[in-house]
């Protein structure tokens, strides 16, 4: 139960962080973000024309040109999934464990791709941590499925 609650807390944190980021992005959308980010890049000693700063500026321009309603809808859906998952895990519901395992497993291919293309200690930790989390949740689901009907753990109401 403690493990479920720890995972639930982490998922809720990710959801609230995403909500705060979405609100922050909304607040900045009326600013000249390209100019602000270019100034910040120069302030930390990088050149806006270098590869990665240019990629950041290009991505920012695409974000500003995107349909804001679609961006907010996507962010809201992400936050909702994180919060529903957190609730299900906190209450140790089977559907919450399933949702946690599936949503965690969805990231694995992208994390592995990132690890292969940009291997860092952080990338390794993220992949191993997510695999451990997904493995734990799958093991819990298997344990529940294999438990005898009379001895099956009851879910809290």
Read off the pTM.
0.70
Phi, psi of 9 (to 5 degrees): -60, -40
Return phi, psi of residue 148, to 5°. -60, 150
- Tens place of pLDDT per residue across the chain (157 aa): 899 999 999 999 999 999 998 888 777 766 677 777 788 888 888 787 888 888 888 887 777 666 778 878 999 999 999 999 999 999 999 999 999 999 999 999 999 999 999 899 999 999 999 999 999 999 999 999 998 865 555 555 4
């Amino acid at each position: 139960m403690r493990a479920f609650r720890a995972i639930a807390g982490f998922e809720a944190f990710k959801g609230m962080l995403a909500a705060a980021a979405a609100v922050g992005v909304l607040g900045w959308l009326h600013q000249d973000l390209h100019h602000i980010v270019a100034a910040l890049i120069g302030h930390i000693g990088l050149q806006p024309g270098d590869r990665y700063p240019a990629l950041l500026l290009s991505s920012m321009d695409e974000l500003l040109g995107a349909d804001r309603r679609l961006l907010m809808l996507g962010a809201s859906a992400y936050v909702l999934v994180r919060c529903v998952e957190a609730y299900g895990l906190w209450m140790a519901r089977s559907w919450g464990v399933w949702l946690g395992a599936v949503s965690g497993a969805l990231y694995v291919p992208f994390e592995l791709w990132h690890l292969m293309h940009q291997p860092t200690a952080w990338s390794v930790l993220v992949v191993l941590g997510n695999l451990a989390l997904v493995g734990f949740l799958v093991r819990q689901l298997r344990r529940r499925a294999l438990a005898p009907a009379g001895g099956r753990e009851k879910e809290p109401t």
